[in-house]
């Protein structure tokens, strides 16, 4: 092979790469947390007796599932930064890359989490709701105390897997010039002319993190699987 | 909102003199469709091969296929794309690498993007094909072998025809995903639909119209693919589907 590898720029750049990894992890955590909460609301709205709410929730989920993530990020980065800043109460002129990325990811992932949670709620036996009503619980109480706990226990592997996918997708904040781990690696590689080494390093790091995480999920699944 | 809507901007001649702005959008749409279809063909072919490999009794082939799937599923799509576009030309033998790097840049971008999408999606297709084969009753394989068919013949005449028919719904969602993932290829400079959207925002100063039009284009692609696959599903669906009873 004619290319001579030179890995010397990586050790010096590790602090900068770590800052980028923190950005990736922050976006992943925020989007996952908001995504699960808002996704649960969407899933419950889809099952409500009010037709308009069902239509709204289904429309939201279908919209965000049919549009690429890149487009959602660009919407919030290029088109909506000022209205978003006003909505979030930020000073005009703040760097909107991180807030727009977090909002975009959270809204996008909620649609995917909503589908997972809807499937999870459906997987709980119908008799549970009937039994809860027979015991005198209202709809809200039954959901909170009986259905949702069981649904979430079934869904944890899928929610975690979606979280791993979300972590991989945070690399797409590259389109809004935000330096997450991949963006940082690209910048270092570009600066030092060692793009090949940095890209391979970034790929290896992502692989190790995601592979270990998915193995942990698999082990959790084996331990908690109830036939 | 003191924004001046002007949907007619799409029919205005473009500032670069190469047709209207609507023409730009159609050029992007064309590139997106060509890119996604090329990637999908690659993904179907490779993914089916790897999926079958994972179900064979040979442990080494199974391990190779499992490693293949793990590598392509655990590295983000953007990192893979940059690897194909920036890293691969450097690692080729010098003469081929130089010739490749001097060829038309759009061809380089398209090839890198199509190969990246094809291989990324092939790992997911492999998982679906494997799931489809495993969902078939175990007796099918044994019956094929008992009738004197070799293992390849059993796959070709008994297992795969059924497996492909029952995995049409998950393959539909992978097909939709490849169109959405093609938007990532705008980062290497390929002027597909998402990149044309950004160009339109820059040149027409009408960001809302541009982005709404591009978003609707993606939704139209979505609907067309779903309707097409629904037609395929209706034609090939099994009456006694072991998965979707």
Distances (CA, A) of B112 to A173, B49, B68, B87, B185: 21, 21, 19, 10, 9
A146-156 mean pLDDT? 88
Is B93 in Cβ contact with A2 (below 8 Å)?
yes
**pLDDT of res. A2:** 60
Name every residue whose Cβ is closer than 8 Å to that of residue A128 and which is 6 or more positions away in sequence: A142, A146, A147, A150
pLDDT of residue B5: 86
Secondary structure (3-state) at A135: coil
Record: contact A1-B91, CB cut-off 8 A:
yes
In chain A, which residues have their Cβ closer than 8 Å to the Cβ of B86?
195-196, 199
Separation of CA B38 from chain center: 8
Q: Distance between CA A212 and CA A198 in Å, rounded? A: 21
Q: Which DSSP string do the residues of A15-61 spell out, in sequence order?
A: HHHHHHHHHHHHHHHHHHHHHHHHHHHHHHHHTSS-HHHHHHHHHHH
A184-206 pLDDT tens trace: 999 999 998 889 999 999 999 99
Residue ranges of chain B whose pLDDT lies below 50:
245
Residue A67 and residue B180: Cβ atoms within 8 Å?
A: yes
Interatomic CA distance for residues A182 and A96, integer angstroms: 19
B70: chain A residues, CB-CB within 8 Å: 211
Domains and CATH numbers, chain B: 16-236 (1.10.3720.10)
Q: Does domain A9-224 have CATH number 1.10.3720.10?
A: yes
Is A70 close to B94, i.e. CB distance below 8 A?
Answer: no
pLDDT computed for residue B230 by the predictor: 92
Q: The complex's ipTM? A: 0.89
The stretch A25-46 carries a mean pLDDT of 94
pLDDT confidence band for A227 (50 / 70 / 90): very low
- What is each CA distance from A118 to A105, A114, A196, B222, in whole angstroms? 20, 6, 43, 22
């Amino acid at each position: 092979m004619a290319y001579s590898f030179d890995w010397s720029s990586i050790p010096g750049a590790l602090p900068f790469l770590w800052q980028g990894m923190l950005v990736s992890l922050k976006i992943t955590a925020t989007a996952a947390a908001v995504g699960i909460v808002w996704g649960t609301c969407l899933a419950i709205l889809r099952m409500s007796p009010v037709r308009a709410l069902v239509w709204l929730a289904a429309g939201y989920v279908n919209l965000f599932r049919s549009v690429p993530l890149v487009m959602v990020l660009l919407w919030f980065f290029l088109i909506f930064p000022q209205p978003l800043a006003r909505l979030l109460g930020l000073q005009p002129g703040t760097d909107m890359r991180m807030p727009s990325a977090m909002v975009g990811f959270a809204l996008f992932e909620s649609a995917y989490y909503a589908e997972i949670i809807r499937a999870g709620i459906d997987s709980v036996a119908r008799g549970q709701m009937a039994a809860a009503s027979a015991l005198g619980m209202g709809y809200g109480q039954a959901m909170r105390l009986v259905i949702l706990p069981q649904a979430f226990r079934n869904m944890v592997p899928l929610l975690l897997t979606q979280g791993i996918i979300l972590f991989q997708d945070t690399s797409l904040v590259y389109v809004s010039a935000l330096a997450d781990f991949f963006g940082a690696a690209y910048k270092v590689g570009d600066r030092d002319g060692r793009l090949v080494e940095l890209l391979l390093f970034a790929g290896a790091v992502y692989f190790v993190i995601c592979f270990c995480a998915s193995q942990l999920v698999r082990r959790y699944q084996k331990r908690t699987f109830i036939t | 909102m003191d924004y001046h809507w002007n949907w007619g901007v799409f029919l205005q001649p473009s500032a670069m003199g190469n047709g209207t702005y609507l023409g730009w959008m159609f050029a992007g749409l064309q590139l997106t469709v060509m890119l996604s279809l090329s990637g999908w063909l690659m993904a179907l072919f490779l993914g089916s091969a790897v999926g079958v490999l994972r179900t064979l009794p040979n442990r080494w082939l199974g391990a190779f296929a499992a490693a293949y799937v793990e590598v392509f599923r655990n590295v983000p799509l953007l990192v893979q794309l940059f690897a194909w576009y920036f890293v691969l030309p450097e690692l080729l033998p010098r003469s081929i690498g130089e010739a490749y790097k001097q060829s038309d840049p759009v061809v380089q971008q398209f090839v890198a993007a199509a190969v990246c999408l094809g291989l990324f999606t092939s790992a997911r297709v492999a998982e679906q094909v494997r799931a489809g084969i495993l969902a078939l009753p175990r007796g099918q394989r044994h019956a094929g072998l008992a009738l004197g068919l070799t293992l390849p013949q059993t796959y070709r005449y008994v297992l795969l025809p059924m497996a492909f028919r029952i995995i049409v719904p998950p393959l539909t969602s992978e097909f939709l995903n490849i169109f959405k993932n093609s938007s990532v290829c705008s980062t290497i400079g390929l002027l597909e639909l998402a990149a044309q959207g950004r160009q339109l925002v820059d040149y027409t100063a009408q960001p809302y119209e541009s982005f709404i039009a591009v978003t609707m284009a993606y939704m139209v692609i979505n609907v067309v693919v779903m309707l097409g696959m629904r037609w395929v599903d209706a034609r090939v669906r099994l009456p006694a589907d072991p998965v979707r009873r």
